[in-house]
Amino acid sequence: AAVGYFDTIIALLKVDIVGFPDPTYCVLKKKPLKNVEVKVDGGATVTLVDGDGKSYTETDTDRDGSVTLPNVPVPTTGTVTVEANGKTVKVPVRVDKDGNMSPSDLKLYQVTVKVVELGATPEKPIAGATVTAGGQTSAATDADGVATLHLVKGVDYEDTKAEASGYTERTVKLEVKADGSVKPDKIELAKTGSHSVNFTVDKGATVTVSDPINGAHTATAGPNDTQVSVPGVPDVATGGTVTVKATVDGQERVVTVPVKVENGVATPSDLTLHVVTVKVVEKDASPEVLIAGATVAVGGQSVTAGSNGEATLHLVKGVTYSDLGAAATGYTAISGQTLTVDGGGHATPDKIELTKAGQSDPYLHVFVVDENLRAIDGVSVSVNVSGEEPRVTDRAGHAAWQLKADGKYELTLKKDEYVTVTTSVKLDVRGHDLTVVMQRVAQADPKKEDPKGPVTAVESELLAGASLYPNPAREYTTLQGIEHAEMVSILTLSGVEVQRLAVPGEREHKLDVSSLAEGIYLVVPETRGGERRTLKLVVRR
């Protein structure tokens, strides 16, 4: 290799006994030199540092909106620094063999991004924050949390950083599209400040507090202690979980529940495990038919029902679990159901009904996300079926019904600060997954919203058959029905992309999830035309 030349690989075919190689030299091909022309703001200075580390600098002295960098060895990759109107930004570039730079429009355009507090309801803008992208740092955000930057369009700014006093610094990828729009248009910061958080537990229990941004914090109570203090825990407004592992009646029990930490105080704080009994029976059977040997799973804990159809769980009281599932041979399994354990340790429902295989009504699954594909919990979803109460989406943005096939159903989705959505869906015997995008009222796109009425949801017909199996998954899961997809993304519930891969023309693709932490993720196949489908994936070890 040499500056200004193409890299070359040669084979030393022979080395004689004296140590001389044959051949004794190699030939490097010189790269052609091209003049590289780019568009700029009048008077701008452009500095290209190519893949060999060589710099080329030119200024638009005649202010005609263009700059030509002479005699650049091509092709090459590198970075360009643009200085214009008192602003400076650095972006990655590629120059092809003909001297065409991408991007070629290096004008600086004004873009805005909002900085808000993670999990705050209603939304809480952060004034005084700064956002840094491409080496350019914004002025402090205004009272609405808006930061203004001057950036090159059509560029992904990989290490965009947002920071504010009293909050944990966060780094994201900021995409500035060709039309000047940005993604994400909002960056959420978690409050800083860590605490030693106290919990009441069974003797010797281990407690782990986790959240999507700050990771996990663990402590173990002494063998005779029923109190444990977990150090270094920041406030967790949303998306946090606490896992307690304890030995009860000589057996190790583990359960995971949602947790909120505010000013160092956790809710719930009593993690003592209590015996909770639910009965598993056959649906619509008369007299009642008990299902012995059924498996019941909730909060990450799985048990088998006895001969009396009763499953004995050890759970935290005062918690609503949104991941109740049950399965038995010869019956249709259920998942994603709600189980509430009140302060007295009583479960609602206290009876789980399973339908005999081949007789079940299909499920309608609704997944609610925002425009950044982050799950929205707490959405009230109602369906026009007599006797069906509205469902409230869980942390995965999920709600489900078991309804009659070959029916057309009208759905209404509501949540404070979001535009109400109405949509309809026809349910066949296979069931249906419906993804709904909800917009905040302040951000509602006038092109999508009818000012006289609610927004109507639109789902991808091309990806209607997409599904995951197995789900939950340990190491791998297969994404099926994606022959129209071009890309697949896997995101956390907070919208952080953890995997992205191309799947052009594949009917199915085996996804490796072995590196993902336990939890709930969103799998999003996307067509070439930008149509998306959002599927919930549970990863368990």
Give the span between the Cα atoms of 128 and 136, in whole angstroms.
16
Look at residue 38 and tell me whether its pLDDT is greater than 60: yes
Confidence at 456, pLDDT banded by 50, 70, 90: very low
Q: Are 50 and 33 in contact (CB under 8 A)?
A: no
Side-chain-side CA neighbours of 501 within 13 Å: the count stands at 15
Q: Contact, 116 vs 186, CB < 8 A?
A: yes
Handedness of CA 126, 130, 134, 136 (dihedral sign): positive
- 217 in Cβ contact with 232 (< 8 Å): yes
Chain segment 295-323, per-residue pLDDT in tens = 999 998 989 999 999 999 999 999 999 88
Q: Would you call 441 helix, strand, or coil by DSSP?
A: helix
* Mean pLDDT for the chain overall: 85
3-state secondary structure of 107: coil
Interval 76-119: pLDDT, tens: 999 999 999 999 999 999 999 999 999 999 999 999 999 998 76
pLDDT number for residue 11 = 61
Task: Extract the tokens encoding 54.
Answer: 């060589």
**Residue 285: other Cβ atoms inside 10 A:** 12
Q: How far is CA 163 from CA 88, 111, 140, 166, 192, in A?
A: 20, 18, 10, 9, 11
CA distances from residue 224 to 62, 203, 317 in whole angstroms, order as listed: 81, 5, 22
User: Residue 213: what pLDDT?
Assistant: 63
Q: How much of the chain, in percent, has pLDDT values that exceed 70?
A: 91
* Cα angle 221-222-226, degrees, rounded to a multiple of 5: 60
> SS3 of 48, please?
strand
The strand ranges marked E within 101-166 are 101-102, 109-117, 130-133, 136-137, 146-151, 155-163
- Can you give the pLDDT at residue 447? 41
Q: Which tokens hold the place of 129?
A: 């924050």
CA–CA distance, 361 with 32 (Å, rounded to integer):
68
Cis amide bond preceding 504, omega within 30: no
